[in-house]
Amino acid sequence: MELYEYDEICPSAESEVIPLHARSATRGIEDAVRILIAATGDDPTREGLADTPARVAKAYREWFAGYAIDPARLLATQFSEAAGYDETVLLTGIPVVSTCEHHLAPIIGQAHVAYRPDGRVVGISKLSRLVDAFARRLQLQERLTNQIAEALDEALQPRGVAVVVEAAHGCMATRGVRQHGLTMVTKCWLGDFKEDAALRAELMASLPCRGGSGGFFGNR
Ligand X SMILES: Nc1nc2c(ncn2[C@@H]2O[C@H](COP(=O)(O)OP(=O)(O)OP(=O)(O)O)[C@@H](O)[C@H]2O)c(=O)[nH]1
Question: Crossing angle, helix 141-156 and helix 125-135, to 10 degrees?
Answer: 140
Under rule CB under 6 A, residue 97 binds ligand X: no
| CA distance from start to end of the chain | 35
One residue of 94, 135, 165, 172 binding ligand X per CB under 6 A: 172
Q: Of the candidates 18, 171, 185, 209, which one interacts with ligand X according to CB under 6 A?
A: 171
Residue nearer to ligand X on the CB measure, 88 or 146: 146
Query: Is 188 annotated as belonging to a binding site?
Result: no
Listing DSSP states for 156-180 in one string gives H--SEEEEEEEEEEHHHHSSTT---
Q: Is 103 annotated as a binding residue?
A: yes
SS (H, E, C) 81-107: CCCCCCCCEEEEEEEEEEEECCCCCEE
CA 148 → CA 3, 96, 119, distances in Å?
A: 45, 12, 20
Q: Per rule CB under 6 A, is residue 46 in the interface with ligand X?
A: no
Contact segment (CB under 6 A) with ligand X among 25-33, 38-46, 134-142, 157-165 equals 134-142
100 known ligand binder = yes
The site partner of 172 among ligand X, Zn ion, none (C-beta below 5 to 8 Å per kind) is: ligand X
Residue pair 215/180 in contact by the 8 Å Cβ criterion: yes
Q: Is 187 in the site for ligand X (CB under 6 A)?
A: no
**Binding site members for Zn(2+):** 100, 103, 171
Contacting residues toward Zn ion, per CB under 5 A: 100, 102-103, 105, 171
Q: Which residues lie near ligand X (CB under 6 A)?
A: 100, 102, 140-142, 169, 171-172, 176-177
